[in-house]
Structure 1
Amino acid sequence: MPAAPMKRGSNAALTREIPNLRGVVLGVALASSEPVLNDNLVVATLLCDDDHKVLSDEHMVFFNQLTEPDLSVTQLAAAAGGDVEQVEVDLDDVPAAVHRIVVVAYLNEGMGHRRTLGQLRDARIRVLNLADGAELVRSENLAPALTGETGLVLGELYRHEGGWKFKVVGQGYPNGVVGIAADHGIGL
């Protein structure tokens, strides 16, 4: 049964609600009626410290780097359930230095082709229980609020009082991956 949609800025205390939760799958659904736009969408997962800065270049999970050094966060080869990308997170194995796991989407070459995320009809993120596939969290459709952005922070899994919470973010970037990189300490 799908979870009730959560609005931007809302969060859910995952491990407080489900104390035996050991792993999750972060699923991203992005859809446009324009195939060129769909083909140029990139989903990436950033493993960040408490200051929202990526630990290193090896702590970014995306199509060119499907896992990080500790193998606790892995982009799955095939997504299911309507998601275009899915990332598996083994909560017990996430390195102690990682405080936030941030899921972003951006247009590869979006600015040069005059395409924007405002052309999306659907942009959502959800959290599934790795053990049984049950949907724990689903964001509202973030697409209607997008206009000229070429980058988007969909949501973040973060440590809180010894457990894990999830927050729907929905922050757009008019300068795409460059803006996301600047905010998260990534050198391009």
Structure 2
Amino acid sequence: MFDVDRFIEECRAAVAEDDSHKAVREVTARAMADPAALLKALGEPTEGSLQKLYHGDELTILNVIWPAEIVLRPHNHNNIWAVIGVYGGREDNIFWRRKGDRIEAAGAASLMTGDAAPLGKDIIHSVINPTGKLTAALHIYGGDFFNDGRSEWNPEDLTERPFDFQESQRQFEEANARFRSKAA
């Protein structure tokens, strides 16, 4: 059985032991081994959302429900590593690298139910849920995810700008509306 409080404490202990993503990835991989237990503990998702499970200076844990068919612009995480554990659905990541004052695609990875994958401190990525279903994932960050300083890249010309949280919320709302209309 998955216990949210125990998972948080194990992640906090892992960060205290090793401030890289390695120990947290192991904790997350163990949790992803039983996706049904996570669904039971966290609830069956009904729409896209972002729920804080833990937020501190050294660690942020989010339960992220990606709406169906959402495409999130390229962004970074303010120079903090992340571990993504998918417990339902699929999350596709496109990785980007800086090239002058823009970025260019540098690779991709699909994360499926049961996967636990690290993202380095300097990673720039965009996230896509290419399916018609919700995707459920734990996102664990090695620092304060909500601290200012994150960037995103304009999808039209791939130039850097400050991260726009309101725009991301709008994307979630629009994707949720599309999902509800298709389900009706």
TM-score with structure 1 setting the length: 0.31
* Structure (1/2) with the larger helix percentage: 2
